[in-house]
Chains A and B, each alone.
Chain A
């Protein structure tokens, strides 16, 4: 295919660029956090918007809250197969996972593992999580600059994941690595080549296959691997399918909460009045957690693919078209959310946000995510007057994982 010279959004004025030229998928917009005004323009003027040329080929953008909700409900037309991200799967390296399946396979595989993160099970985990949060927070240096992402966000979510998989604790850094490798191609700098990426993911598969074999005879394990071993719909998975579902569970439980942990610190720093509210009234924490998850929107989009020609909100969608539901935009839609650009920790109906998705594919780990964040903020408020951001925040150059790699902070004790 001939190389097409694409206009660079980062150099253009979102208010005046011709609508047809807008491409919100460009990494630079995400790296520099300059996507917001483009999304506002799309929501107002072209809520179902066609981008003809992009690094990822042509795609539709769905940017309003209500339209995203409607698309999520209509799985018979808008399929989650073959993938739920804007980038198409590598032809020789498909990773089947239930998030990217339609009924009935989706439900069968999901049901095999979702008990692990069901609220009943989480009650048992609360003590362990709190203990781990306390240990992490107590090990942090007071008054010194450090990267919050590394020492808290990554460490905490990785420990949590190791707990859920009953993964050897001393090797837990591998989980972080595999999560990064799974979502980041060569262009992100995480790996040098696609070959390296695939090789590392096969190492992940080999490691987990050992754990699988160890647990095959065990009928009582309540960890995720043991549940996959026993699940009717999962016990005979092919190696590639096993890897796909591992990647799903690792990324699902890692990048997302990691970035909500970091993003909450940023939001409170940018909104000192809200930080004061939190100090004066820690009982607002559960509500604040929902607001943080909306505010951060740790996964910026989900993709659907049209199974047939159809009309959607007046636009003619062709079979096979790629549709990107921009959660990050829906969560800022003034038609659905009052004062959406403000971070308000005691916001009414804060739970009504798109970050977990809706419909059949609604996030399975939503209660676990909320619990981790709630416990973290409860314990933070016991220890620190302020987590102060003291340097430049660095963002992930991705239109899918919406988060941070660096957040230099200094802690102030109570």
Chain B
């Protein structure tokens, strides 16, 4: 199973074994990683599952869709490596993926 490493704003790390086919958002919620709200439940419609993808993984996670881009764009604290974690599907390729959580969800 691919491992995903979540780093909280405080620096606390969570290394989670994820199911292929799940999402980075659902994996966090299922494993009680704090800092992700996911108010819309994975519909790319609330932007409360915001994460920052560690630079070296950006190529593998791909780039945001038009819809995701428009939601990210509303967040004043958005970074260049910001993604909505409900839009990143877990694959074997992402084994070792590191994502940082923002201090606040918008």
- Residues on A lying within 8 angstroms of B by beta carbon are 69, 72-73, 103, 107, 110-111, 114-115, 118-120, 349, 351-352, 356, 358-360, 362, 367
Contacts A69-B40, A73-B67, A358-B40; A118 near B77 (Cβ below 8 A): yes
Contacts A73-B45, A358-B45, A360-B70; A111 near B76 (Cβ below 8 A): yes
Binds A, one of B11-19, B81-89, B98-106: B98-106
In the complex, what distance in Å separates the CA atom of A110 from the CA atom of B75?
Answer: 10
| Interface set, chain B 36-68, CB cutoff 8 A to A | 37-41, 43-48, 67
| A107: B residues at CB distance < 8 A | 70, 73-74
Contact across chains for A358 and B106 when beta carbons are under 8 A apart? no
Question: In this complex, which of A72, A103, A359 has the most chain B Cβ atoms within 10 angstroms of its Cβ?
Answer: A359
Contact across chains for B76 and A358 when beta carbons are under 8 A apart? no
> Number of B residues whose C-beta is below 8 Å from A?
23
CB distance from B82 to the nearest CB of A (A): 14
Candidates A72, A119, A356, A359; contact of B104 at CB < 8 Å: A119
Contact across chains for B40 and A118 when beta carbons are under 8 A apart? no
Contacts A103-B70, A107-B70, A362-B46; A352 near B76 (Cβ below 8 A): no
Contact across chains for B45 and A118 when beta carbons are under 8 A apart? no
Q: List 6 tightest A-B contacts by C-beta distance, closest first.
A: A119-B104, A358-B45, A351-B39, A115-B76, A118-B76, A359-B45
- Determine whether B33 belongs to the interface, using a CB cutoff of 8 Å to chain A: no
Question: A-B pairs with CB below 8 Å: how many?
Answer: 58
B47 — nearest CB in chain A belongs to which residue?
A362
CB distance from A387 to the nearest CB of B (A): 28
Contacts A69-B40, A352-B39, A352-B40; A119 near B74 (Cβ below 8 A): no
CB distance from A252 to the nearest CB of B (A): 15
- Determine whether B71 belongs to the interface, using a CB cutoff of 8 Å to chain A: yes
Contact across chains for B104 and A120 when beta carbons are under 8 A apart? yes
| A115: B residues at CB distance < 8 A | 76
CB distance from A111 to the nearest CB of B (A): 7
Contacts A119-B104, A367-B106; A358 near B43 (Cβ below 8 A): yes
Q: Main SS of chain A's interface residues? A: helix
| B104: A residues at CB distance < 8 A | 119-120, 367
A–B pairs, 10, beta carbons within 8 Å:
A69-B43, A107-B73, A111-B73, A119-B104, A120-B76, A351-B37, A351-B38, A352-B39, A356-B39, A356-B46
In the complex, what distance in Å separates the CA atom of A360 from the CA atom of B70?
Answer: 7
In the complex, what distance in Å separates the CA atom of A119 from the CA atom of B104?
Answer: 6
CB distance from A10 to the nearest CB of B (A): 35
Contacts A73-B67, A119-B105, A119-B106; A110 near B76 (Cβ below 8 A): no
Question: In this complex, which of B46, B47, B67 has the most chain A Cβ atoms within 10 angstroms of its Cβ?
Answer: B46
A358 — nearest CB in chain B belongs to which residue?
B45
In the complex, what distance in Å separates the CA atom of A120 from the CA atom of B78?
Answer: 12
In the complex, what distance in Å separates the CA atom of A254 from the CA atom of B72?
Answer: 26
In the complex, what distance in Å separates the CA atom of A352 from the CA atom of B67?
Answer: 20
Contact across chains for A362 and B45 when beta carbons are under 8 A apart? yes
Extra contacts, 20 of them, besides A73-B43, A120-B77 (Cβ < 8 A), are: A73-B44, A107-B70, A107-B73, A111-B76, A118-B106, A119-B104, A119-B105, A351-B37, A351-B38, A351-B39, A352-B39, A356-B39, A358-B43, A358-B46, A360-B70, A360-B71, A362-B45, A362-B46, A362-B47, A367-B104
In the complex, what distance in Å separates the CA atom of A111 from the CA atom of B75?
Answer: 8
